[in-house]
Amino acid sequence: MSEHLDLHPAQPGGTVLVGGASGLIGSRLVSALQADGATVRRLVRREPRTPEEVAWSPAEGRLDPAALDDVTAVVVLSGAGVGDHRWTRAYTRELVRSRTSSVSIVAARLAQAGSSARLVTASAVGYYGDRGEDVLTESSGPGEGFLADLCQAWERAADPAREVTSVAHARTGIVLAPEGGALGRLRPLIRLGVAGPLGSGRQWWPWITLEDEVRALVHLTRSGVTGPVNLTAPEPVRNRELIRTFAAAMHRPAVLPVPAFALRAALGGFAGDLLASQRVLPEALLADGFEFTSPTIEDAADALVA
């Protein structure tokens, strides 16, 4: 369960170290942190080209402890994408390794340095598994399946840092952005009028806009809330309603369902993530005073389609 403990709350600004800064969320996060007055250092897996870049190799356990000097917060978003490849045995191992090694090396360095830098790690609502109509909050237990196991290992990787600083796990839902994520894949189909519910369409989708995702991460870098924090909009919707709402905003029909068997044939194990039902609520974020710019799916459709 998340708790609000003012262990090391950070003020706007400061110096934030970001892993995964080149991704869809990470690149926007860097810009938002800079706009918030922060100095941002980026973790990179190559030779640094600027003073703001810091070399690391999570697979080799390599990160110079000096990288944490004067850092007020660390955000770790690194990891292979769950939808980037079919879930072969080798790729599922890579999904686990890439996430846990990234968090564990940062947590170890924080612990070794006795650093009070706030740690925010990525996680996912996959933690809860497929839960049907259950209402899920940060106090809900883990579900079953590969993603639930992955998320538990992902969050446990931060354990060494808990001895010295505050740690929050951003359990992100389905991120809606015009240029990527789930909507990025669905949008061309909706425009062609060939999109519709995935599977039954009755499954709950815990969505969040990219803008609110980034704003929530910035909020967490200077918050005192610890433990899991659901990064999802306060009004989850069923898959069919989400697709219908965006189709209406684009003045297109949304009547052609995609059968579950077709999704599984096309996507393999990742299809289970799209077909899972997760009625997730962001209790910790709301209790911590966060305000969403797009609290409803209609708000999101208006903003993203425009």
Residue 202 belongs to some domain of the structure = no
pLDDT in the model for residue 196: 86
Question: What is the span of the domain harbouring residue 29?
Answer: 10-174+208-232+281-287
| Three-state secondary structure call for residue 226 | strand
Q: Which amino acid is at 138?
A: E
Residue 77 belongs to some domain of the structure = yes
What pTM was estimated for this model as a whole?
A: 0.92
| Three-state secondary structure call for residue 134 | coil
Report the DSSP pairing between strands 39-44 and 53-57: parallel
Angle at 147 between CA 146 and CA 153, to 5 degrees: 90
Contacts of 82-91 spanning 24+ positions with Cβ under 8 A: 82/124, 82/126, 82/147, 82/270, 82/273, 83/267, 83/270, 83/273, 86/267, 86/268, 86/269, 86/270, 87/146, 87/268, 87/269, 87/270
Rounded CA separation 254/231 (Å): 27
Residue 216 belongs to some domain of the structure = yes
Residue 48 belongs to some domain of the structure = yes
Q: What is the pLDDT of residues 287-301, one digit of tens each?
A: 999 999 999 999 999
pLDDT in the model for residue 230: 98
Residue 273 belongs to some domain of the structure = no
pLDDT in the model for residue 8: 43
Tokens standing for residue 89: 């045995």
Q: What is the pLDDT of residues 161-199, one digit of tens each?
A: 999 999 999 999 999 998 777 788 788 888 888 788 888
What's the structural domain count of the chain? 1
pLDDT in the model for residue 48: 92
pLDDT in the model for residue 270: 65
Q: Which residues pair with 34 in a beta bridge?
A: none
Q: In this structure, are residues 58 and 101 in contact, taking their beta carbons and an 8 Å threshold? A: yes
Residue 305 belongs to some domain of the structure = no
Q: What is the DSSP string of 37-73?
A: T-EEEEEESS---STTEEEEEGGGTEE-GGGGTT-SE
pLDDT in the model for residue 129: 96
Residue 148 belongs to some domain of the structure = yes
Cα–Cα distances (Å) from 274 to 83, 196, 295, in that order, read 10, 13, 21
Rounded CA separation 162/107 (Å): 8
CATH number of domain containing 64 = 3.40.50.720
Q: Which amino acid is at 93?
A: R
**Any idea what DSSP says for residue 239?**
H
Instruction: Give the pLDDT means over successive 10-residue stretches in the chain (306 positions).
Output: 46 87 95 96 94 94 92 95 84 94 97 96 97 97 95 98 97 90 81 86 96 98 96 96 94 83 66 86 98 97 90
Residue 200 belongs to some domain of the structure = no
